[in-house]
Amino acid sequence: MKLDKLNKEIRMHCPTCGGTDFSVVEHEEEKLVTCSQCERQMTRSELYEENSELLTETQNEIAKEAQKQLEAELKKMLRNAFKGNKNIKFK
């Protein structure tokens, strides 16, 4: 099973301006991200929280794609298993 194409980057959006470009600064406890467009500064978890809907959506997408690939793989396995048997035909 190949899931390479599922390795897509999740694009975070700035809650203020919707920008997707951030610079990350090491902080004592948590990494701070700064939007390069409006210069809003927040912690990484804040940014995740603001984008939680987007993250869930992406997760669902990945799960759906994985299932699709699994089904295709299974079909191929079945087809191979019955190869040479003329009584069973697959479309």
Q: Which residues bind Zn ion (CB under 5 A)?
A: 14, 16-17, 19, 35, 37-38, 40
Rounded least distance, CB 67 to Zn ion, Å: 35
| Beta-bridge partner residues of 25 | 32
Strands 22-25, 32-35: pairing is antiparallel
User: Is 14 or 32 the residue whose CB approaches Zn ion more closely?
Assistant: 14
Please choose, from the candidates 8, 6, 2, 37, the residue with its C-alpha nearest in 3D space to the C-alpha of residue 23: 37
- Kindly state the tokens that stand for 47: 């940014």
State the Cα–Cα distance between residues 14 and 33, nearest whole angstrom.
Answer: 10
State the Cα–Cα distance between residues 84 and 91, nearest whole angstrom.
Answer: 15
Rounded least distance, CB 15 to Zn ion, Å: 8
User: Is 14 or 33 the residue whose CB approaches Zn ion more closely?
Assistant: 14
Rounded least distance, CB 6 to Zn ion, Å: 28
User: Is 54 or 62 the residue whose CB approaches Zn ion more closely?
Assistant: 54
